Amino acid sequence: MRIFVSKLFFFCITLTTVSSIAQSDELAKRLFEVHKTYREGSLNQRRFKQKDILPLIARRQGNPLYKIESVGESFEGRTIQMIKVGNGKKKVLLWTQMHGDEPTATMASFDIFNFMEGKNDGFDDYRKKLLENTTLYFVPMLNPDGAERYQRRTMQGIDMNRDAASRQTPEAVILKGLVDRLKPDFGFNLHDQMRYSAGRSPKVATISFLATSYDYELSINPVRERSMQLIVGMNKILQKYIPGQVARYADDHEPRGFGDNVQKWGTTLVLIESGVYVGDPEKQFIRQLNFMAILSALDKISDNSLTKEKRDEYYDIPENGRWVYDLVVRNATVRQSGKSFLADLGINRTEVNYANATKFFYYSKIEDFGDLHPQYGSEEIDATGLTIEKGKVYPTTYKNVSEVSKLNALNLLREGYTYVRLATDSNTRALGLYFTTSPLHILRGGQPAPSGTPGLGNTATFILKKAGKVKYAVINGFVYDLDNFNGGKGQGIIE
């Protein structure tokens, strides 16, 4: 009889768990699909500033759903605000943009506010549950001075995520004060990251997590265990949308880090990093994933279903790696000093801000050269049988970029010309490194043409030839197939 009761109990627990997972998956699916309804349309690119979100906060003043509070000022005197939603027992503090150039979760936060104001859309019961069981405190832009310049650090030049101990920045003082005053049960430290691979794989890490460690021994107490459980649940949901593209950071203890210290101070802390999704330069799809994942996590917090997750599965999530380049050229024939050999090239595209850090262009360099067989490229060229060469400089000098834009770029590239020169007095000299929509590499007057075989550290401009014919031109790290040419959205560079 005892055996029968034990089996029945196990069956009931299993059935409950399966039912809970199914409900969680269904909620996530519905949240993912409804995002387009609540997406904040005024934030449609990443390089926005505090002035762009202040009207979104101001329009919520007087709405009984919110309590809006000024919690301090940045180093340059910008007011930092906190938005409270809900009146439940479980307190959750969510902060974004402690690094000024990491805004994806800020966009998602305003999408969440729009969602919380919705009704009669099938989510009323969910909202009621969330508002009754949790109190949410959002700080949607903790480093507005950094956001103004689209830079990681504060105006003081300090990384405030390494300022939890000394608190030399007013922004760090504000965050520590909120943690002390609110004593949140859960915290979400919301970031962006650049290019990582999800483990040793060809897939980029689109979302990365960290259950921060509070000591050098990497101990796990109930506070940190809940972080792991919550991340396990979020990972399961995200795998349905970005399979194989979720990673985690190594959990080495950082005694200066806010995540590590907030965990030590007793708040269950989840760090989320919004990474890269190929074809989503403004991170609008990743924003949608944030919206879904954060609201799904809040659901697990509100009913404590996160405790059903197994913390050991946290370590099944692969660590962030450095195994993916934006572009890999494989097996190119290189000729140097009268000899030939094969080499791979690993190329990455770096964003360069312009227009007061409201826009960007790409500047690409060859970051590795040689045998790259363990690495991958988000884009790859099989250059077997192709010879890599430096392109030629076109003999005609032009007065300005407008004249260059009228050239037939395809004809020039077919003849092996990748470089075009401007006159010495060109008015682009004051701009420094800049860009052109022509698929060409423009040299200012006085700028010497590159010499030698393209290699490590060079701007990624070169041609790949077969039997004397140019097959591919790579201009500033972007590939142009001359047999199937599309230069309409060129990513050229001006040096």
Q: Domain total for the chain?
A: 2
How does residue 2 score in pLDDT terms, banded at 50, 70 and 90? low
Range of the structural domain that residue 14 is part of: 2-321
The average pLDDT across 286-299 equals 98
Q: Give pLDDT, residue 447.
A: 83
CATH code of the domain covering residue 271: 3.40.630.10
- Stretch among 9-18, 92-101, 343-352, 432-441 having the lowest mean pLDDT: 9-18
If one compares 452 and 284, the residue with the highest pLDDT of the two is 284
Quickly count: other Cβ atoms within 10 Å of residue 24's Cβ: 20
Distance CA 75, CA 57 (A): 21
In DSSP terms, 192 is beta-bridged to: 274
Is it the case that residue 259 has pLDDT exceeding 80? yes
**Exposure of 136 by Cβ count < 10 A (0-12 exposed, 13-18 middle, 19+ buried)?**
buried
Q: Could you give the count of Cα atoms lying within 13 Å of 85 in the half-sphere of its Cβ?
A: 23
Is it the case that residue 446 has pLDDT exceeding 90? no
Residue 204 sits in the same domain as residue 332: no
Residue 337 sits in the same domain as residue 285: no
Q: Give pLDDT, residue 429.
A: 57
Q: Are strands 478-481 and 387-389 parallel, antiparallel or unpaired?
A: unpaired
The distance of Cα 308 from the centroid of its chain, to the nearest Å, equals 29
Distance CA 182, CA 189 (A): 16
Residue 275 sits in the same domain as residue 204: yes
Is it the case that residue 427 has pLDDT exceeding 70? no
Residue 281 sits in the same domain as residue 401: no
Alpha helices in 277-356 (DSSP H): 284-302
Is it the case that residue 451 has pLDDT exceeding 90? no
CATH code of the domain covering residue 334: 2.30.40.10
The structure's pTM equals 0.92
Residue 348 sits in the same domain as residue 400: yes
Helix, strand, or coil here: 69? Answer: strand
Residue 287 sits in the same domain as residue 330: no
The average pLDDT across 158-182 equals 98
Question: Could you tell me which of 459, 466, 470 has the C-alpha nearest to residue 416?
Answer: 470
Is it the case that residue 10 has pLDDT exceeding 90? no
The average pLDDT across 460-486 equals 96
Distance CA 78, CA 81 (A): 10
Instruction: Report angle CA 120, 124, 125 to the nearest 5 degrees.
Output: 145
Mean pLDDT, the chain, as a whole number? 94
Residue 316 sits in the same domain as residue 358: no
Contact 481/417 with Cβ under 8 angstroms? Answer: no
**Exposure of 10 by Cβ count < 10 A (0-12 exposed, 13-18 middle, 19+ buried)?**
exposed
Q: Give pLDDT, residue 262.
A: 98
**Domain C-terminal end among 303, 321, 339:** 321
Residue 288 sits in the same domain as residue 370: no
Residue 337 sits in the same domain as residue 362: yes
**Domain C-terminal end among 268, 296, 321:** 321
If one compares 154 and 448, the residue with the highest pLDDT of the two is 154
Is it the case that residue 239 has pLDDT exceeding 60? yes
Is it the case that residue 368 has pLDDT exceeding 60? yes
Is it the case that residue 201 has pLDDT exceeding 70? yes
If one compares 360 and 21, the residue with the highest pLDDT of the two is 360
Contact 113/59 with Cβ under 8 angstroms? Answer: no
* Cβ-based neighbours of 149, under 8 Å, separated by 6 or more: 100, 357
Residue 45 sits in the same domain as residue 148: yes
Is it the case that residue 425 has pLDDT exceeding 80? no
**321-356 tens-digit pLDDT:** 999 999 999 999 999 999 999 999 999 999 999 999
Helix, strand, or coil here: 378? Answer: strand
**Domain C-terminal end among 304, 321, 338:** 321
- Stretch among 68-82, 87-101, 432-446 having the lowest mean pLDDT: 432-446
Cα distance from N-terminal residue to C-terminal residue, the chain:
82
Residue 121 sits in the same domain as residue 162: yes
How does residue 367 score in pLDDT terms, banded at 50, 70 and 90? very high
Contact 286/272 with Cβ under 8 angstroms? Answer: no
Residue 329 sits in the same domain as residue 233: no
The distance of Cα 47 from the centroid of its chain, to the nearest Å, equals 13
